[in-house]
Chain A
């Protein structure tokens, strides 16, 4: 089958991509002297300069580049990315693993709502072109797109947290936080909604869901316009094509013509945008996270950058590269699933 061969080929291509990402970050590292790079592996500021030289020797930081790269990539693969000084002198990998689940949780809930709502509204808009519903959808989605993230977030907070007093900001209520951090609650995934179920404490899940609703709404408001507009224009293009006329002349209902024939073709550009959007959200929801006091990976990266915490920033860059590579991989495979012509090259 063409599909399987295509997936295998595409996954194999993923390996050199990752190699490229690591090479790029390694190249950036070379802007720093061996001493500076050595200090990334030391907690705090060493009193004795000998410590630095011992680290340089131990980690081969002054060896020829290819040897250096070999030792560096081995350390990276074993999870040693240095010490995150901005996050209280814990290893960068630990700091990343602390932040990623929170962001991941946020994105996992936002992306379906953004994509499905965007596709639905985009189709509605295209099918009712130039009618009232089309104008309304376009106006509201573009308003959402133009809102400053922090502003819409603050408005949501002041209405629902301040005015109506539903829940406070943060990932969990104080009570739930106490339970989650207690030793008899096992944090399997660090994603609270899932851990709540795994620990058999459903109220934790519900509590986490309550806290995630507003950030998700905020991300949806500001991102959905992108999908709506791409879906609308690509749907309009497909609806004017010959095969749509053929489908109608065959006597198919409008529902089949739109949701079977036009939609599948129109989805192709939307898949690209969705991939970029998902990767973008996973790596850069700093403002939403900050305003809602939802400490994820964006929050960590922003702090690290402000404090010139080089190992943390580079660790984050590695994460960003990985996320975009995986997103591209998924996008390419989805393409091939939708459009048979892509399976052959």
Chain B
């Protein structure tokens, strides 16, 4: 299986007044084509930042200070997303990789309709196809409207503009035309075409009465419906990779299950690879093929989902597994607290809380190594270092 995306030594720092937060320290990760990789860890361990670094969208005052994000595009070329310019990134974001966020009500703009926000994706990434359809429609109308001079004149004018956009002629002229109130109306045809696609996409996602929902504002929808709309935006252009950042955390349990089922079904239908970020091990077990465990800005273990539940190697993963509440068993917690990332512990960041820590753990940072086939661990217990 080929890798869709590979993160190499990603370093992210936040420059705050309290000090430099070392949020991600050399994160290494890859996602294979067609799989669902779960990214699990406590709050604040850098899961979301890892997801955002793929988009090169780390919010200020954060910065990506090192590493590479190698991404295989639909055409099969491998690009380093961190060295692309803004325009290049914009072509990839939303079209080849897209993201679903935790809070659907926050990730929708409250003042635009659902239809507007979904069709925006088509208008941005599928303009050529929309233009072709629109011109074809205008041609049909031109044939029907023999004799109606004014209508024919307007249609000709609009067709002219669309053909200009199609040939990318005079982008400045188009930009100016878009600012003039009456002339701007020509865009309505294009927008109507995009909205039609948006509606059919909403229907595919199991939204009842999509024509009506498309004209609704986010506040008029329930959380589950809002998340469906967000998923629609993310899947509009059949992305190769979908990053789902705790997509069900803010939803009711019953709706959670339905959204998870939807993501699974869509993954199959659209042949998408998923990076699933969550802190919920139950969801991981249900959704993922492989799991990457993060602790304080590092990936500490990667393995198949069955392997990680049956045979966790890293002391943190072990502790995490033991902290799953089970009936009849004593409930265990991990001793100590999550470290402050302004002054993270030296060496292995988990060593102050680790029951198996030895001297070297405080001195040397363990590398992520393949201990068994497809099982990676970053821990001195397994890397053959002298103890």
A interface residue numbers (CB < 8 A to B)? 240-243, 245-254, 256, 261, 264-265, 338-341
Contacts and interface: CB of A to CB of B under 8 A. Distances in A.
Contact of B57 (A241, A249, A254, A264): A249
B111 A252 contact: no
B341 interface: no
A76 B108 CA distance: 51
Interface residues of B, number: 31
Given A241-B106, A339-B110, A340-B217, A246 B57 contact: no
Nearest to B95: A251
Interface in B91-148: 91-95, 98-99, 101, 103, 106-112, 120-121, 124-125
A34 to B, nearest CB: 55
A248 B109 contact: no
Contact of B107 (A243, A265, A341): A243
Interface string B38-70: 000000000000001001010100000000000
A243 B219 contact: no
Contacts of B103: 242
23 contacts: A242-B101, A242-B103, A242-B107, A243-B110, A245-B59, A246-B108, A246-B233, A248-B57, A248-B93, A249-B55, A249-B99, A250-B93, A250-B94, A250-B124, A251-B91, A251-B92, A251-B93, A251-B121, A252-B94, A254-B86, A340-B219, A341-B217, A341-B219
B250 to A, nearest CB: 11
A253 B92 CA distance: 12
Lowest 3 A-B CB distances belong to which pairs?
Answer: A251-B94, A242-B106, A251-B93
A249 B98 contact: yes
B176 to A, nearest CB: 14
Contacts of B3: none
Contacts of B52: 245
B84 to A, nearest CB: 12
Contacts of B120: 250, 252, 256
Contacts of B230: 246
A253 B90 contact: yes
Interface string B203-235: 000000000000001010000000000100100
B148 to A, nearest CB: 30
Nearest to A129: B60
A194 B103 CA distance: 53
Which of A240, A242, A249, A261 has the most B CB atoms < 10 Å from its CB?
A249
Interface in B19-49: none
Contacts of B91: 251
Contacts of A253: 90
A253 B90 CA distance: 7
Nearest to A250: B94
A246 B219 contact: no
Which of A246, A248, A252, A261 has the most B CB atoms < 10 Å from its CB?
A246
Contact of B124 (A246, A251, A265): A251
Contact of B109 (A240, A254, A265): A265
B90 A251 contact: yes
Contacts of B106: 241-243
B59 A340 contact: no
A247 B52 CA distance: 13
A265 B110 contact: yes
Contacts of A247: 109
Contacts of B110: 243, 265, 339-341
Contacts of B95: 251
A245 B55 CA distance: 10
Given A340-B217, A340-B219, A341-B219, A249 B109 contact: no
B380 to A, nearest CB: 37
B98 A250 contact: yes
Contacts of B86: 254
Nearest to B98: A249
A243 B90 contact: no
Contacts of A340: 110-111, 217, 219
Given A249-B93, A250-B93, A341-B219, A261 B101 contact: no
Given A250-B120, A264-B111, A338-B111, A245 B57 contact: yes
Which of B52, B107, B124, B219 has the most A CB atoms < 10 Å from its CB?
B107
Given A246-B107, A248-B55, A249-B93, 8 more contacts: A241-B106, A242-B101, A243-B110, A251-B92, A251-B94, A265-B110, A265-B111, A341-B219
Contacts of A250: 93-94, 98, 120-121, 124, 233
Contacts of A256: 120, 124
A246 B106 CA distance: 9
A341 B111 CA distance: 8
A319 B233 CA distance: 51
A269 to B, nearest CB: 14
A17 B111 CA distance: 29
Nearest to B56: A248
Contacts of A264: 111-112
